[in-house]
A and B are shown apart, each in its own frame.
Chain A
Amino acid sequence: MTAVVNPNLITDLQRFGGTDINACFSCGNCTAICPLTDNDAMFPRRLIRLAQVGLGDELVGSKELWTCYGCGMCTDRCPQEADPAEFMGTARQYAIAHYDRSGIARLMNTRPVLGALFATAMGLLFAVFFTTISRHQNPDVLRLFEFIPYEVVHTTGIVVMALVAVFSLLGIGFLARDIARRDGITREQLFGSAEARRRTAKALWYALGIESLGQKRYREDCQDDQPVEPLYRRRWLIHSLTLWGFLGLLAATTLDYGLDILGIKATGTPVPIWYPVRLLGTVAGLALMYGVTWFMIRRRERAGQPGGRSRPTDWLFLWLLWLSGLTGFLIEAALYVEPVQTWAYWVFLAHVAVAMELCLFLPFTKFAHAMYRPVALFFYGVERERSAASA
């Protein structure tokens, strides 16, 4: 079966980053050095080749794209200075844009200025919206939900979540379809028998539990920092803290909402620091801030070095995370400080706007890796289960 190539792929890819894979002469050093290379996972060389010849659909439907943690060892070893790590990052952005049918991801990547304007405009739109509907700033007690009604925040959140869900599910669905097609995985093989379902469940656990939450290979295989970084700033650690911090905050928010529904504690009620939900939120927030701050420092340090190029959506994602964390902590501080800090109302407004934008941009920024990586890892797990079964 002949595959018709897209001669313009490489030009298109270059719009997403300064990747210069023309220099690559397919030697395979990158594959040899990559700690994730496996019998059925020959990257980055294979993916670079797909890009070079113009097999775009195969490139974006490659699960290897998402198993990479971007350690950069391939770039260090590349004899042609083709910067494969940079290519992998660019290709992931390209895939994100490919699976985002709205075109927003493409805009933000290929037109940085327009993208920045768009991101700022969206943030301002949220801010203006919340300002418009904002009411009374209680000067005696910090009553944030009197300033912006809880229902409005809640409903806006639901709308944003629904929008994100639509885009995300579409993207996840298309990616899953493409990977399954490429790897020749059928519905029957996944769910056809009890044995198949058992294997699928194991693959799911591998994808979500062991790798997504556990970051096993990141921790064990991609220990690559040269020179060896002290533990407190190792990549897998700051990545895990960011991830767990984010999930912790998500859990705290959800729990808080649950407690509200159950009538145990109204949202916004000041509670002591040891109150479990609050404690969870605080610890998670600290972890998130710690991780994101280190990511930003490291990204700045690597700027200008091979593999250190940042795409606009990399920074947008980090800044949104960092700003939502910072504003969250400022609000928390304000809640416990006497007298009432009225600036906290505006910080709260900013916090809500930034958090909304962060969520809304999930399918378009680097954030999207959070939904695509598990899909790819799932199929990677399926592959593992299948080869284990046939071995």
Chain B
Amino acid sequence: MSQPDEPTTGGTERRIGVYICHCGGNISDYVDVEAVREALKDEPGVVVSESPVFACSDGTQHDMIDDIRAQHLDGLVVASCSPKLHQVTFRNVAKRADLNQYAYTQVNVREQDSWAHQHDRAGATEKAIGLVRAGVAKTRLSDPLEPLRIDTVPSALVVGGGVAGLRAAIGLADLGIQAVVVEREATLGGWVGRLGATFPDDTSGADEIAGLVEQIKARRDITVYTSAELTGKSGTFGNYAAELTLHRDDGDKVLTVGVGAIIVATGFDSYLPDVGEFGYGIDGVVTLPEFKELVDAAPSGQLSYAGRRVRSIAYVYCVGSRQPAGGNEYCSKYCCTATIHASLQVARLDASVRQYHLYRDIRAYGRNELLYNSSREAGSTYLKFADDQPPAVAKLAGGGLGVTVTDLLTESRELTIPVDLVVLVTGMVPRENAGLTAVLKLPVGSDGFFNEIHPKLRPVETVVDGVMIAGCCQSPRTVGESVAAGLAAVAQSAALLKKGYAELEPLVATVDPARCIGSGECLTSCPYDAITRIEWDGRSIASVDPATCKGCGGCVPACGQDAIDLLGYTDAQMRAAIEGLIAAEPVKEAVS
């Protein structure tokens, strides 16, 4: 079947190179690579067909570049592995040979063929021929595309005025990027701002925040709004219009700032135990933040709780962390060291206080191990309980609190420790941020924390262009790690904003104005709000903002007029690819 709008640029006029990779034996053990090459070599437009052992090897890449130049190729097809692995590799090959990188098509004959059909060589070979023919057909109709160039404004919004956000703001300003900080609370500093001595170096959290605030005051490039929230975002990546709502005594005020990037550093909430959970609710049972406040405020020489002298303390670790499936399964990472550090503070206040640490595993990692050693030397006793035998906290008949634990280090004996204070070492939970999540369309993981693109290689970027995450809104971490993440977000923001422009994939939807009848059907299909109505030639039609479009293709089938095409995957290309795929003849002689 032929379409009336079949482009005439395709067909035999194209000069395409096809490379079918052996991938060592990953492909050639199950697919007759030579048969595939044979089947493809006379396809219309194919002028080079090779079957390298490793297409991605340096030598083959050079051969491809030589072929492209010598044969004046205008299309490139590599049938190898998943594009997730090597699309960038071969796009770069095309670029180096001065071929438009979007004239390259990767055909996946490994994950989607050879590995999947290891017991059907004939079938796998037939499928490979179909897949490669489809790739060639699609490439024949490819148009040269250029990355979209977006101008960016040199300013960034920092959501959250905790330690990570404040340090990030300073980092942005130092790079010449205007920073706007919005803090929901009336005061800056978040959790750290309320802390006294913090690990690992005993500096006061409050002092550190005060120092950051001083530095911010000294910089003209930073604007801070407290009692303020980000309530809306419009515009495109590189030039967002952020709507801030300032909660003021005389009512809310709305303000719009133009920012190129957004760094989300909204922090965490401390786990709040249920009443009765490890005795929470009983007088003398406190959470880690409550305890820390008590210790920070204690006068030298003694520790008191509710007017009573504290002579013995039991710490119950992993409260609200590392729960069974369905709960908070993650480790909150900071609490072991924070508790050990607080216990050392107590030992300095009053060395006679007996401190029992009831733990599952002590994760005072890295140098924090030394704090753990110091705490033992300062007299802390550590008792290890099994996951399925958690300690129980109760009031003792004779007054005071009793913590009953089966200690694996004391022959798994059940011990009852009479103490004055029980500290539940509560971990971190994601903060309630539904509004912000909706405004920024932030991806939220199953644990409730925000998700990065890649945990190792793209640790602060999100799938929303220009929106970075840093600190404990992403996952539990220490102050140092949060600040490091904040500065990583600064560096990533600078990478986006310092050039003054950004390049985006051009594989986006386009509307053919001539065909669009302005039905509006596509408007609701876009999850990114990239489609708007414009006036064109006296008519109201749809228009796609290429900077906002993610190229998902959701709008293409929504259009009853076939007026929307996805560049790189046009209807014509996809039709041709399907034709190529189903045209494959069964392979009989290839069975070995």
Contacts and interface: CB of A to CB of B under 8 A. Distances in A.
A41 B411 CA distance: 13
B410 A7 contact: no
Interface of B: 311-312, 352, 354, 356, 376-383, 402, 404, 407, 409-411, 413-419
Given A4-B402, A49-B409, 17 more contacts: A2-B415, A3-B414, A4-B418, A5-B417, A5-B418, A7-B311, A7-B354, A7-B356, A20-B377, A22-B377, A22-B379, A22-B381, A24-B376, A53-B356, A53-B383, A53-B417, A55-B410
Given A8-B354, A53-B383, A2 B410 contact: no
Interface string A15-52: 00000101111100000000000000000001001101
Nearest to A25: B376
14 contacts: A1-B414, A2-B416, A3-B413, A3-B416, A5-B418, A7-B354, A10-B354, A10-B379, A22-B376, A25-B376, A25-B382, A46-B411, A50-B410, A54-B417
B421 to A, nearest CB: 12
Contact of B410 (A23, A24, A25, A49): A49
Interface residues of A, number: 22
Main secondary structure of the interface of B (DSSP, over half): strand
A41 to B, nearest CB: 13
Contacts of B416: 2-5
A50 B409 CA distance: 10
B413 A7 contact: no
Given A3-B413, A53-B410, A55-B410, A22 B378 contact: yes
A254 interface: no
Contacts of B413: 3, 55
B307 to A, nearest CB: 21
Interface centre among B376, B402, B419 (most CB of A within 10 A): B376
A11 interface: yes
Nearest to B312: A7
A7 B383 CA distance: 13
A2 B311 CA distance: 22
Contacts of A46: 411
A49 B410 CA distance: 6
Contacts, number: 60
Contacts of B356: 7, 53
Interface centre among B312, B352, B416, B417 (most CB of A within 10 A): B417
Contacts of A23: 376-377
Contacts of A24: 376
A52 to B, nearest CB: 5
B415 A53 contact: yes
Interface string A305-330: 00000000000000000000000000
Interface string A49-75: 110111100000000000000000000
B359 to A, nearest CB: 12
A157 B414 CA distance: 49
Contact of B418 (A1, A7, A10): A7
Contact of B414 (A2, A11, A49): A2
Interface centre among B312, B383, B404, B410 (most CB of A within 10 A): B410
Interface centre among B377, B381, B404, B419 (most CB of A within 10 A): B381
B404 A2 contact: yes
A11 B410 contact: no
Contacts of A49: 409-410
Interface centre among A20, A49, A53 (most CB of B within 10 A): A53
A11 B350 CA distance: 13
A49 B409 CA distance: 8
Given A7-B354, A53-B381, A26 B415 contact: no
Contacts of B354: 7-8, 10-11
Contacts of A2: 404, 414-416
Contacts of A54: 417
A60 to B, nearest CB: 16
Nearest to A51: B381
Nearest to B314: A7
Nearest to B414: A2
A151 to B, nearest CB: 54
A227 B402 CA distance: 49
Contacts of A3: 413-416
Contacts of B380: 22
Nearest to A11: B352
B363 to A, nearest CB: 15
Interface centre among B354, B377, B404, B419 (most CB of A within 10 A): B354
Contacts of B419: 7
A4 B356 CA distance: 14
Contacts of B409: 26, 49
Nearest to B382: A25
Nearest to A4: B416
Contacts of A20: 377
A8 B382 CA distance: 15
Contacts of A11: 352, 354
A49 to B, nearest CB: 5
A160 B485 CA distance: 78
Contacts of A25: 376, 382
B312 A55 contact: no
B112 to A, nearest CB: 53
Nearest to B407: A53
Nearest to A46: B411
Contacts of B415: 2-5, 53, 55
Contacts of B410: 49-50, 53, 55
A1 B417 CA distance: 14
B414 A52 contact: no
A10 B383 CA distance: 15
Contact of B417 (A7, A10, A50): A7
Nearest to A8: B354
B390 to A, nearest CB: 15
B417 to A, nearest CB: 5
A25 B374 CA distance: 12
Interface string A186-210: 0000000000000000000000000
Nearest to A49: B410
B512 to A, nearest CB: 73
A336 to B, nearest CB: 60
